[in-house]
Structure 1
Amino acid sequence: MADQGDAPVEVTADNLAVNQSDGTAIFTGHVVIAQGAMRLAAPKVLVIYAEASERIERLEASGGVTLVSGEDAAEARNARYDIDAQVIVMEGDVLLAQGPSVMSSERMTVDLEKGTAQMGGRVRTILKQGK
């Protein structure tokens, strides 16, 4: 999962509710978030804006999340994406597919800038070997 840097964030959803007082927006219904080559889909996404700015600080997706970047795909119950830090934390029945390999755990932290991922909470891995 590669660094997305300052690529714009595009959000599509069935509904949007904005709360000016706390600087949040809630997208619901078939939410798809795209940034560069990365796609995140979930039933509900809370967007939190940085204080005194129109810049998105983080996204909190819930209700069953799918994250796709290139040929890598991950699923979890919930995910938090800190845009400035370029870190995604997925929690709850995490399943990661990278090519023929599949891994599962309770939590996965992805550093998009460094291109690394760390899994924790009873990790199970199936490594398929080519002939």
Structure 2
Amino acid sequence: MTIVSRFAAAAALALLLIGGMAHAQGASVAFGGLKHDASLPVEITADELTVDQTTGSAVFSGNVVAGQGEMRLSASRVQVQYATENGEATGRIDQLIATGSVTLVNGAEAAEAEKAVYSVDAANIVMTGNVILTQGVNALSGEKLTVDLNTGSGRMSGRVRTIFRTGGN
């Protein structure tokens, strides 16, 4: 079952059980499962790789999966931006920019979006465009999700929507 269909099923069930919704402009949430060691090596697999030495970037396309420790980021396309010092590429990854059916999974938590930017040195991920976050049986949606991987804290913004289960089975 996909994350989207799990969210839809959970939403429908919760609507039947409690008959109400909570809406907000922004919400801080705990991302204990998304706490992560950004110093680990990044492994990327894809159907195709294009490298541009002049811009210091590489583009992976087709069934892209980027892994770092337990964290997995999958997308149709991932552009790798390399860090530079004094105008020279260092070979160290600065950012991963993922587009097209982006899914981020770490432990029991998963998020889907249209785009994700993972800033490796800053150890944060910003996901934008129809973001859906699932944490176990709970789901939260909005337009932007920002996660600090060092602390496991995050913020969902842009017409946040969730459904709270108030008890019972």
Q: TM-score range by the shorter chain?
A: over 0.9
- TM-superposed CA distance for 1:127, in Å, is 2.9
Q: Rate the CA distance shift 1:115–1:130 in 2: closer, same or farther, 3 A.
A: farther
**TM-score normalised to structure 2 length:** 0.75
Match of 2:81 in 1: 48
Deviation of 1:130 (Å): 6.3
Question: Are 2:81 and 2:95, in contact at CA under 8 Å, matched by a contact in 1?
Answer: yes
- Structure whose residues are more often helix by fraction: 2
Please state if 1:22 is matched with 2:55: yes
- Regions of 4+ moved over 6 Å: none
CA deviation vs aligned residue, 1:2-29 (integer Å, no higher than 9, x gap): 1223110000000000000110000000
Q: Gaps spanning 5+ residues in structure 2: where? A: 1-33
Q: Whole-Å Cα distance in 1 between the matches of residues 43 and 107 of structure 2?
A: 17
Q: CA separation in 2, counterparts of 1:91 and 1:130?
A: 34
- TM-score, reference length from structure 1: 0.96
AA paired with 1:7? L
Q: Does 1:83 align with 2:103?
A: no
Root-mean-square deviation (CA, aligned residues, Å) is 1.0
Write the letter of the residue equivalent to 1:36.
G
How far the C-alpha of 1:64 sits from its partner, in A, is 1.6
Aligned residue type for 2:69:
G
Aligned to 1:70: 107
Structure richer in strand, relative to its length: 1
